[in-house]
Amino acid sequence: MNPDRIRRIDNVMSGQARDLLARLARVGLWSLEPVYWTITQLRNRRYDRQEKHVQRISKPVISIGNLTTGGTGKTPLVRWFAEWLLEHQASPAIVSRGYGSQPGQPNDEYRELKVWLPNTPHIQNPDRVAAANEAITAYEGSVILLDDGFQHRRLGRDLDIVLIDASQPFGYDHLLPRGLLREPVSALKRADAVILTRVDQATDDTREAIRNRICQYVSPQKIAEVSFANSGWIDQYGNSSESPTVAFGFCGIGNPSGFRAALDRMDLQLVEFQVFADHHNYTRTEIDDLRQRAIQQGAATLVCTMKDLVKIRELGFDSFPVLASTIKAEFKSGQKMIEDLIQQTLEKKEK
């Protein structure tokens, strides 16, 4: 999708666009919101009232999901959970739908996680019950990490973690398609814990307001806070690199503004920033165009996210550097609470 169209859609949803066409578009989207709400409510009621529709498996399932569409930082958090489990002698396996993948190919989240967790099984299948059972039987997984699983209720879970992005917490307070909410905020009542991400991109007052709203549905003791820190740079060949100084940025992720804000906080001169659609599949022509524009503006480097870099490695490059920021999750609060919940989940399933 054209970057200008992406910005236009976001401005319409957020209410920033005030022209006549934008107002008419919001009315049209608003008229569809009750339909989505009804479908969501009926589906949740089915699972709430009829446990038979939930399929349990023999190993513990930890779900890491969202309340909204777009990026909340699931991938670095899935990595954190997997590394914690590995450090505690568990054998995690990741299960995900594979959203945004091409036929016969894994998606960008899979490719990125393989960089950091090369020996951890990751099965992508829209039938996540089948994927979880395969992870147990074929790969001897002792615990399943269900990536983006909050709305996928058919696979029973033993621990439900929901991520909320402090830079864009409640999807413009509207359900799809008028806003970005997949479910009403009240769905947080199903969560065992909430992790507020990108807290460094919100003021103290904003963060407190978000926490107060979450606390309507979740105990304040069950809220953790995380930021994503740049732990280094990696180039298109997989080698560690020095920090860039003058760069042209681009990305095709769910929350491009979060990545842009992270770049702006670095000691880095950004000459331009190009946004592509989430899960965008790059072509060599597009990368060549970005490189030419970078050179014309005096940039010595292209910079992107790991999700972008893992998709464009196969396109081939000349010596012009393309660097990705390597992001790690850092808990600002609530880490022990999350660790205790994981440990309790593992022990409970063993009994």
- pLDDT tens per residue across span 271-311: 999 999 888 989 989 999 999 999 999 999 999 999 999 98
Question: Token digits for 134?
Answer: 């395969």
Largest CA distance in the chain: 64
Q: What is the dihedral of CA 217, 220, 223, 226, to 10 degrees?
A: 130
- Assigned domain for 15 exists: no
146 and 57 housed in the same domain: yes
Number of domains composing the chain: 2
Nearest-5° angle of CA 61, CA 63, CA 67? 160
Pairing of strands 246-251, 143-147: unpaired
Q: Is a pLDDT exceeding 80 seen at residue 7?
A: no
The enclosing domain of 148 has a CATH number of 3.40.50.300
Pairing of strands 92-96, 143-147: parallel
Q: What is the pLDDT of residues 180-226, one digit of tens each?
A: 999 999 999 999 999 999 999 999 999 999 999 999 999 999 999 99
**349 confidence band (pLDDT: 50, 70, 90):** confident
What domain range includes position 65? 52-228+330-350
Nearest by Cα to 268 from 292, 293, 299, 239: 299
* % pLDDT > 90, the chain: 77
Which pLDDT score, from 0 to 100, does residue 153 have?
95
Q: Under the phi-then-psi rule, with left for phi > 0, alpha for psi from -120 to 50, and beta for the rest, what region is 134?
A: alpha
81 and 185 housed in the same domain: yes
Nearest by Cα to 188 from 158, 155, 164: 164
Q: Which residue has the higher pLDDT, 33 or 49?
A: 33
- Assigned domain for 118 exists: yes
56 and 198 housed in the same domain: yes
Q: Is a pLDDT exceeding 90 seen at residue 45?
A: yes
178 and 125 housed in the same domain: yes
- Assigned domain for 303 exists: yes
282 and 146 housed in the same domain: no
Residue 307 and residue 329: Cα distance in Å, rounded?
15
Nearest by Cα to 25 from 44, 47, 5: 5
- Assigned domain for 21 exists: no
- Assigned domain for 246 exists: yes
102 and 120 housed in the same domain: yes
- Assigned domain for 152 exists: yes
- Assigned domain for 6 exists: no
- Assigned domain for 191 exists: yes
58 and 204 housed in the same domain: yes
Sign of CA dihedral 120, 126, 132, 135: negative
95 and 137 housed in the same domain: yes
CA 83 to the chain's CA centroid = 17
Q: What is the mean pLDDT of the chain?
A: 93
